[in-house]
Amino acid sequence: MTVAESRLQTLPSDRLIAEFSLWSADLLNLETAIQRTEHLADMYHLDACDGHVAPAFLLFPDLVRAMRRVTKLPFHVHLMATQPIIHSQIEQFADAGADLITIHFADGVDIDAALKEVRRHGCCAGVALPLDTPVCAVQPYLDGVFMVTLLGTATGLKGQNLSPLAYARLEEIRGMLQSRGADTRVLVTADGGIRQQTVPELRAHGADGVVMGSLAFANDKLEETIKRIRELPAPSW
């Protein structure tokens, strides 16, 4: 078992997973942000971009390497990059301490090759589907991924409201996994538009986890929020 697989095995299977997005933390005090929240987070989410898929560059490998020294929680890198830089970025983030590297569906990306590269570097692999990508596009890759992330807002922009399409898309991927017998093997995470009022509905429609940005790092009642999230019932279907 790789180090990445060992860390990811610590994720809970009996409640909603809380991923804390460090893009929304105080970027001048990331070590403090991690130390303040790691007893509440299940995993840290790190957005990275080449400046083409989304309009910002976001977090970068050397910064991830520095943060890796201050926590043992799993690191999930959501990599929004295109050819030819994507393979170099996979190598750099894996070397920096990523445990799970998710490949973002974008024009010109060879998803299969990128997922193989992730696994070759000892990390678990995931895929992220933007709102305008049909859920069925993920079907050829489900046998080789640890997680599917469904975006509920436009890529790379903070503070947006959740699209009403998000709930049906969660149900669709959950049904797809159930039909393949992969429902307990592949995790499904919702990213974007994560608010106090949307989390219960996302959970009810099939989310195994949510990526919390401002809800984690601009929340003066974070412990209460996490307690409520952890008590949400599993989807009934």
The answer to whether the bond into 233 is cis (omega within 30° of 0) is no
Judged against a pLDDT cut of 70, whether residue 157 lies above it is answered with: no
DSSP string, 189-218: EEESS--TTTHHHHHHTT-SEEEESHHHHS
Condensed to tens digits (0 to 9), the pLDDT of residues 166-209 reads 999 999 999 999 999 888 899 999 999 999 999 999 999 999 99
Condensed to tens digits (0 to 9), the pLDDT of residues 106-142 reads 988 999 999 999 999 999 999 999 999 999 999 999 9
**Calpha distance 125→128 (Å, rounded):** 10
Report pLDDT for 19: 98
CA distances for 101 relative to 44, 49, 94, angstroms: 12, 12, 8
Per-residue pLDDT, averaged over 96-104, amounts to 98
Going from the N-terminus, what domains does the chain have, and what CATH number goes with each? Answer: 3-230 (3.20.20.70)
HSE-CB for 187 with a 13 A CA cutoff: 27
Taking each helix axis from N to C end, the angle separating 85-96 and 61-68, rounded to the nearest 10 degrees, works out to: 20
Comparing 33-37, 155-159, 187-191, 209-213, the range with the smallest average pLDDT is 155-159
Condensed to tens digits (0 to 9), the pLDDT of residues 43-56 reads 999 999 987 777 77
Which amino acid is located at 206 in the chain?
Answer: G
pTM here is 0.96
**Calpha distance 37→215 (Å, rounded):** 12
| Residue linked to tokens 């007893």 | 39
The pLDDT mean for the chain works out to 94
